[in-house]
Amino acid sequence: MNTEKGKKVTVPGLADMKQSGQAIVMLTAYDASFAGRLDAAGIDCVLVGDSLGNVIQGRDSTLPVTVDDMVYHVQAVRRGLQRALLVADMPFMSYHDRAAAMNTASHLMRAGAEMVKLEGGSAMVELVSELVAQGIPVCGHLGLTPQHVHQLGGYRVQGRDEALARVLREDAAALENAGAGMLVLECVPNRLAAIVASQLRIPVIGIGAGPEVDGQVLVLYDALGISSGRRPRFVRDFMRGQDSIDGALAAYAAAVRDGSFPGDEHSYG
C-alpha cells in the first residue's frame, strides 16, 4: 500500500490506490522546507502549482507565471521530497503548440517532476497523447481552470447546467483515453464530480468537488490559513486547533483519508 511508511508513490501506484479505495492526499508546495514537512506527514502527491503566482509572487492570477519560475520551484521541492509524487503545472501559454509543450514538459521533468499537469479538455487530447508517448505522465485539470479566468469571467463554479456538465464528462473521458494518468476537478458540483470519478479508471482529485472523488488537493497556504483575500468555500483552515504546521498537515491527511474533509460546507451542491 502506498501509505506504508517510506514506500515511494508512483503513477501506477496512484491507480492502485483508486482501485483499492484508498484516498489520495495531495497538497501544493513551492520550496524544499515545506516539501520535507509534507513528505514527513505522508502527503501522497505534492503539486508545484502555478498558484505560486498568487501565493508566492502576490499576483492576482496565475497568468504571469513562467516556465523558469516553475523550474526554480520544482527543483527546490524536489530536494525536499523522498516519498511523495511530484506533479508540476505547465504554466499559461507554455503548451500552446506541440513544440512548446514538449519543451516545457522536458524542462519540468529534468527539474525533478514526475508528472505534469495542464488545463483544458478536448483541445488538449492530442498534446496529452504525444506527451505520454514520450514517457511523460500527464494530469488533466477540468472545471474551474484558472488559466482561463478571463474566458470564464471569474473564479466561479463550473458545470452547473446540464450542457456544460456533459462537455466536462466528455472531456474527462477524452483525457483518460488520450493517456492522462490523473485528473484534477476544480469547483464543480459534488454530483458531477462523483459521476466523473465513477466513470474514469484514473484517479480524480477534487478541489471544491465534494467528497465522492478519489482524493483531495488544496493550496498549502489556504490549508494553513495564511492566504490573503477572500477564502474560497472549499477551503478549511487546518491550523485551527493545532499548535504546529506538522499537526495541521497530519490533520489534513487524516481528514482526507477518513472522509471528513470536505464536508457539505466546503462543497457545491
Contacts with ligand KIV, residue ranges (CB under 6 A): 28, 47, 49-51, 89, 184, 186, 207, 217, 219
Q: How many CB atoms lie within 10 A of CB 51?
A: 22
- Crossing angle of helices 67-80/98-111, nearest 10°? 30
Give the CB-nearest residue to ligand KIV: 49
Active site residue 130: no
Could you tell me the smallest distance in angstroms from the CB atom of residue 162 to ligand KIV?
25
Cell, residue 212: 465522492
Compute the distance between CA of residue 38 and CA of residue 109 in angstroms, rounded to an integer.
Answer: 20
**Closer residue to ligand KIV, CB minimum distance, 7 or 148:** 148
Cell, residue 143: 472545471
Which H or E run includes 99?
Answer: helix 98-111
**Closer residue to ligand KIV, CB minimum distance, 4 or 229:** 229
**Closer residue to ligand KIV, CB minimum distance, 89 or 114:** 89
Compute the distance between CA of residue 108 and CA of residue 106 in angstroms, rounded to an integer.
Answer: 5
**Closer residue to ligand KIV, CB minimum distance, 18 or 73:** 73
Kindly name the residue from 114, 119, 176, 186 that is annotated as catalytic.
Answer: 186
Could you tell me the smallest distance in angstroms from the CB atom of residue 247 to ligand KIV?
23
Could you tell me the smallest distance in angstroms from the CB atom of residue 5 to ligand KIV?
26
Q: Identify the sign of the CA torsion 183, 187, 190, 196.
A: negative
Could you tell me the smallest distance in angstroms from the CB atom of residue 236 to ligand KIV?
14
Strand partners, 118: 140
Could you tell me the smallest distance in angstroms from the CB atom of residue 6 to ligand KIV?
26
Q: Identify the sign of the CA torsion 222, 224, 228, 233.
A: positive
Compute the distance between CA of residue 219 and CA of residue 14 in angstroms, rounded to an integer.
Answer: 20
Active-site residues, by number, are 186
